[in-house]
Chain A
Amino acid sequence: MIGGLFIYNHKGEVLISRVYRDDIGRNAVDAFRVNVIHARQQVRSPVTNIARTSFFHVKRSNIWLAAVTKQNVNAAMVFEFLYKMCDVMTAYFGKISEENIKNNFVLIYELLDEILDFGYPQNSETGALKTFITQTGIKSQSKEEQSQITSQVTGQIGWRREGIKYRRNELFLDVLESVNLLMSPQGQVLSAHVSGRVVMKSYLSGMPECKFGMNDKIVIDKQGKGGGNGCQSIAIDDCTFHQCVRLSKFDAERSISFIPPDGECELMRYRTTKDIILPFRVIPLVREVGRTKLEVKVVIKSNFKPSLLAQKIEVRIPTPLNTSGVQVICMKGKAKYKASENAIVWKIKRMAGMKESQISAEIELLPTNDKKKWARPPISMNFEVPFAPSGLKVRYLKVFEPKLNYSDHDVIKWVRYIGRSGIYETRC
């Protein structure tokens, strides 16, 4: 169980310190600062053991969040909690920064008291927390309100309160995916996977019962209409759900039914590795001319329907460490040599499908005494495309609210697909 939680700024000064258990001493705060934040080498492992004490940390911009324990805890649970903590803080006061944390430290202590009890994580659903931890100062609540909050928080459906009413029943569904790739210079895929999540934002009255359907291969095959309507099915490697989803039903029928929390929630997370649509192909060409010159030519090809537009395309071409000058020519977008990152960064705002574009660069090198050869790090790429590279499709999302008089047809539903690049690299 978590023994304590500390928040540090980039200098290692403690902003928030909350100790839940006696086995964590005051010196633990300094131990982490000395051994991790101010360590000589950059500490890469998110878990550090110092003197029989484990520190789990995540870093958000310049802020370090560290959970401390002396026991043998489930590390995944601790990290899940830390991420949840970040989400809650973001939901309350926006960006996590030193300034914001200092301005909201009373709130943060209040939150920490609520979501962690004697080191055991509690209800960390933002919607529920917001009913009784507010930023509007101390507001005396009536007896009824208080009892209502109590019954809701301790009740069976802790994430949604009763009696919500909307004039327009609306529902937004975002399928957000990030595609990861490592490709050989010859265009052979060395590894590729997509990790995605389905985020739902609901403004529905009452306690609606929802049912979500997608082109999951198992479901489609079971229904026996695999190729019937031309809908490709996808094989999901693994998935996790929000706590509102009834897992027993998923296990039995593989149908996803739930009563959603009000507002935004992450309905599910999943990962696929088969039949991934790779939105871009990078073709590198590196030629060394003597000891003092390097010629680089990179072609990118977009590989999706011409009607779709990819956005925020950025190609990062690493340069050798002894680069002394770079000349770049590109047809489209803007390219610049960034010395501080040892890379040429090529940015294109928009690009339609089935197109190709090219950049060529001449790199001048300074002869050095070092006999070490340049390691040729891979070319990486960032982009955003309006479809799901895994091929996932939302088939339906049905809403039933038997008590109130609106039906599935009255709900306005929106579905959006966004594919982003994760680590999208091509060796050169």
Chain B
Amino acid sequence: MPAVSKGDGMRGLAVFISDIRNCKSKEAEIKRINKELANIRSKFKGDKALDGYSKKKYVCKLLFIFLLGHDIDFGHMEAVNLLSSNKYTEKQIGYLFISVLVNSNSELIRLINNAIKNDLSSRNPTFMCLALHCIANVGSREMAEAFAGEIPRILVAGDTMDSVKQSAALCLLRLYKASPDLVLMGEWTSRVVHLLNDQHMGVVTAAISLITCLSSKNPDEFKTCVSLAVSRLSRIVSSASTDLQDYTYYFVPAPWLSCKLLRLLQCYPPPEDGAVKGRLVECLETILNKAQEPPKSKKVQHSNAKNAILFEAISLIIHYDSEPNLLVRACNQLGQFLQHRETNLRYLALESMCTLASSEFSHEAVKTHIETVINALKTERDVSVRQRAADLLYAMCDRSNAKQIVAEMLSYLETADYSIREEMVLKVAILAEKYAVDYSWYVDTILNLIRIAGDYVSEEVWYRVIQIVINRDDVQGYAAKTVFEALQAPACHENMVKVGGYILGEFGNLIAGDPRSSPLVQFNLLHSKFHLCSVPTRALLLSAYIKFINLFPETKATIQEVLRSDSQIRNSDVELQQRAVEYLKLSSIASTDVLATVLEEMPPFPERESSILAKLKKKKGPGAVTVELEDGKERGELNGGGDRGGDAAIAASNASTPSPSADLLGLRSTAPVSGTTPSAGSLLVDVFSEAGPSATSAGVNDDGFLSALHAPEASDSPLVEGPGDSDSAPPTVASEDPAPPLPESDELLNKFVCKNNGVLFENQLLQIGIKSEYRQNLGRMYLFYGNKTSVQFVSFNTTVSCPGELQSQLNVQTKTVEPLVEGGAQVQQVINIECLTDFIDAPLLNIKFRYGGALQNISLKLPVTINKFFQPTEMAAADFFQRWKQLSQPQQEAQKIFKASHGMDTEVLKAKLLGLGTALLENVDPNPENYVCAGVIQTKAQQVGCLLRLEPNAQAQPGEQMYRLTLRSSKDTVSQRVCDLLAEQF
């Protein structure tokens, strides 16, 4: 071969690529590639060594073939060899191949890492850059492991070239994002922060991205960057546009750097140092001033760059929320943008104003723009801008302008875009409720809402109306009158019929005096809508009818006639048929007294968070709603991403669990009216909860405990009430004292009365599993703390305390746990328990740790109950009765009669009684339905014999099944305590 110019031009490669491009069909292309692959294979296989040029050429060809979509399974070695070449082009191709085709082949990775290491220490800036780019492009965990220590050193070293520093900063950022646990800044922190002072603007820009990311995770460590950033910012802002030469973009000095600086400052609260703060305020004012200046250029790039800085500055002002002057100025500036020609600017202005509206300082200023915003809502062409306008209206609403805004939104709703209707409806409903001065206005508004946009009114909205009407006596009459009038329209939305049915059923009597709305007229009006409705609505109407029978005896005959008709009593829908049959029987058999009791007016609903609000949050997702921002403010310190993640989690958990109001009306379970069966589902779940943990505990070993229990416990959720509940979100109590025990800890305690193993507690961060064993008066408990996050918990500390007299009753010894819990890891703690004498309370377990800087403080009750020290005693029937009689003093007996809450499955009952620790005695009680048990409670001081008898009345209606539990023991406190504990179990 003649000596071709062995430079960059690879003729063979060019020929190959043009061959492929000229192929007339796919088959021809494959043939050409096969031929080339065979050629490369024979070249690589060949005994004589290839020179760098041909190696590079063949690796290039392989890369090209791979990018065409064919598999490449060789050539990696040759590519790695290229890395050690000292020609730039060869090295570059080698790195390119590695970044595109690297797989976790162990031996090659070692070679690659070696080559990268050599390049990093080579002092040749281009080679260093190549190596850094490769690390960042691959960005795998292995890479992070190998180089996370090396790169910060390069970044802060004095003699590193500027271009290398830039690459190093961005490379480190990439590694940190991929595996944050491996990049430990530690000693480098301050030197990295001082990169903000670097001469070279490129280095500053690269470094600030890194610092922003790092400081959002550990704000404390990077606190010093605030003052540096402020001084840097002020230098840029105050510089003339010509000072920065290469970094001036269309007359705007360093726009990207300014934006990044402003964003970094948003990670921190306002600076405390007065001088720094003054300087920053000055900067922000300068930026606001500059926005007023006439543009230096007509080019769109100039205004874009200027506005970018301005918006970033405004979001910083909003974030600080402490400078009334600035806030108002920002608001005015945004007000100018509201009518700008540029759609994007209008959008951004509305969006920023939305957050401004929630600040107390600028709320009034925002309100001055109400006309413009309403105008935008009506005339804006772009639907996303209209949506922002609606958001802003919602955010700026308060008592003074609520009526106007709600009216505007209602009128807009008629022409609104379909995609935002449901959200608009929710917002109107919330505003109407929140700012309702008189509730008749509220009722009017909601009924209007249903009339205008019935299809978009979700269940929650009309549930909420009914909740409010029922809880407030003063509007009931008005509500009844209004719905009656609304129903008279020839076509009503089904939701209107639902509201009407419910309200007339409850409060129809309040308007029955008027001959125009006499009971029969009311009934006929409702019934005229009956046939047009879906099954759930019909079911609701049937309930309304039976209430009518109670309220107005004169309608009884008519309604019974309706109920008796074939279309009701033989309806193909089971629910309707059952209701019709039951209501008919109820109305014909029961006396008026019974009827009045059964069909009493609904009791007021307990006050709880508006379900509509939850729904809106769910709809909008995290971060976007102003309501959430209000919540966020209460939390005090905002330091960027960490908290927002929490918000997201809450919103997500709201989304995943059925909202608390789902059972509001009890449409499915008609228990308060007719006493039908609790749905079969709950029984099933209950059985699961028993079967789940016992099944797993068999195959559990200590390491796998957390993971093994996790799956079955998921089916347990109705009992655990863990992550789904909004109040189990990580409690961020700042004090160091043990927090009061969680409200559900009693419930958790009850869960463990009849079992020894399971998950005690779980929230988004932590899961606590328990394994325990008891012998005589001694017990040993293993607690497993599992870190569910990927971030380590620091200063993890647990204490077990025995409050009050429990100290003298129970002797508890704990071993301390490691203060560090790695992400995803699990630690074990052993607790030894000795029972000195009988006791009632349970010891408290307090857990404290820091997660992402925030102190978590959780208190729980340890599931140690008196029954754990039961020793089963087998005895014959005669024995049993003899002892039973011996313990006949009234204080020795404790008895309870209670309703079965879980159904009466024999096997489940038996399992529970055995789990209690007593011996289940067969063939003792003359009635085979009854259960008797015997056991001795072992304490250090004494032994307390205990006899138990449980009598179910299984024949009763499901739902009305009752138990009688009798306990006799030689000590009165013991009988009482065990009886209390056990009563919760069935």
Contact = CB atoms under 8 A, between A and B. Distances in A.
* Chain B binds chain A: yes
A339 B45 contact: no
A237 interface: no
Interface string B207-236: 000000000000000000000000000000
B73 A324 contact: no
A42 B26 contact: yes
Interface string A339-362: 111100000000000000000000
Contacts of A367: 74
Interface stretch (B33-41, B498-506, B633-641, B673-681): B33-41
A249 interface: no
Contact of A366 (B25, B34, B74, B105): B74
Contacts of B39: 339
Interface string B596-636: 00000000000000000000000000000000000000000
Contacts of B37: 321, 339
A364 B38 CA distance: 11
Contacts of A342: 34, 38
A364 B45 contact: yes
B610 to A, nearest CB: 48
Interface residues of A, number: 19
A154 interface: no
A364 B43 CA distance: 12
Given A323-B41, A324-B44, A339-B35, A370 B73 contact: yes
B191 to A, nearest CB: 41
A100 interface: no
Contact of B31 (A323, A341, A366): A341
Given A340-B31, A340-B35, A342-B34, A368 B73 contact: yes
B43 to A, nearest CB: 9
Nearest to A42: B26
A362 B930 CA distance: 86
Contacts of A11: 24
Nearest to A40: B69
B226 to A, nearest CB: 50
B44 A366 contact: yes
Interface residues of B, number: 19
A14 B38 CA distance: 37
Given A368-B74, A370-B73, A10 B24 contact: yes
With most chain A CB atoms within 10 A of its CB, the pick from B38, B41, B73, B74 is B38
Interface string A365-386: 0111110000000000000000
Contacts of A341: 31, 34
Interface in B16-35: 24-26, 31-32, 34-35
A60 to B, nearest CB: 13
A62 B44 contact: no
Contact of B45 (A62, A324, A340): A324
B25 A369 contact: no
Contacts of B41: 322-324, 366
Contact of B24 (A42, A62, A364, A369): A62
A306 interface: no
A46 interface: no
Contact of B73 (A42, A62, A325, A369): A369
Contacts of A339: 34-35, 37-39
A342 B103 CA distance: 26
Nearest to A364: B45
A10 B27 CA distance: 12
B42 interface: yes
Contacts of B24: 10-11, 62
Interface string B95-106: 000000001010
B899 interface: no
B896 interface: no
Contacts of B44: 324, 366
Contacts of A368: 73-74
B961 to A, nearest CB: 60
Contacts of B32: 340
Contacts of B31: 340-341
A62 B42 contact: no
Interface in B85-130: 103, 105
A300 to B, nearest CB: 25
Contacts of B788: none
A323 B45 CA distance: 10
Contact of B74 (A42, A322, A325, A364): A322
A283 to B, nearest CB: 27
B76 interface: yes
B445 to A, nearest CB: 48
Nearest to A337: B38
A2 B45 CA distance: 56
A26 B73 CA distance: 45
Nearest to B27: A42
Contacts of B25: 10, 62
Given A341-B34, A369-B105, A325 B42 contact: yes
Given A42-B26, A324-B45, A339-B39, A369 B74 contact: yes
B220 to A, nearest CB: 46
A385 B263 CA distance: 83
A293 to B, nearest CB: 11
Contacts of A10: 24-25
Contacts of A42: 26
Nearest to B105: A369
A62 B23 CA distance: 12
A369 B25 CA distance: 30
A370 B45 CA distance: 17
Contacts of B34: 339-342
Interface in B649-698: none
A388 to B, nearest CB: 33
Interface in B418-445: none
Interface string A10-40: 1100000000000000000000000000000
Contacts of A340: 31-32, 34-35, 38
With most chain B CB atoms within 10 A of its CB, the pick from A11, A322, A325, A366 is A366
With most chain B CB atoms within 10 A of its CB, the pick from A10, A340, A342 is A340
A325 B105 contact: no
Nearest to A372: B73
B38 A369 contact: no
Contacts of B42: 324-325
Interface string A308-352: 000000000000011111000000000000011110000000000
A339 B39 CA distance: 8
A324 B47 CA distance: 12
Nearest to A59: B25
A324 B105 CA distance: 23
A323 B38 contact: yes
Contacts of A323: 38, 41
Nearest to A38: B26
A11 B105 CA distance: 41
Interface of B: 24-26, 31-32, 34-35, 37-39, 41-42, 44-45, 73-74, 76, 103, 105
**Chain A to chain B: the 10 pairs with minimum beta-carbon distance, closest first:** A339-B38, A324-B45, A340-B31, A324-B41, A340-B35, A370-B73, A368-B73, A339-B35, A366-B41, A340-B34
Interface of A: 10-11, 42, 62, 321-325, 339-342, 364, 366-370
20 contacts: A10-B25, A42-B26, A62-B25, A321-B37, A322-B41, A322-B74, A323-B41, A325-B42, A339-B35, A339-B37, A340-B31, A341-B34, A342-B38, A364-B45, A366-B41, A366-B44, A368-B74, A369-B73, A369-B74, A369-B105
Given A339-B37, A368-B73, 7 more contacts: A11-B24, A322-B41, A324-B42, A340-B31, A341-B34, A368-B74, A369-B103
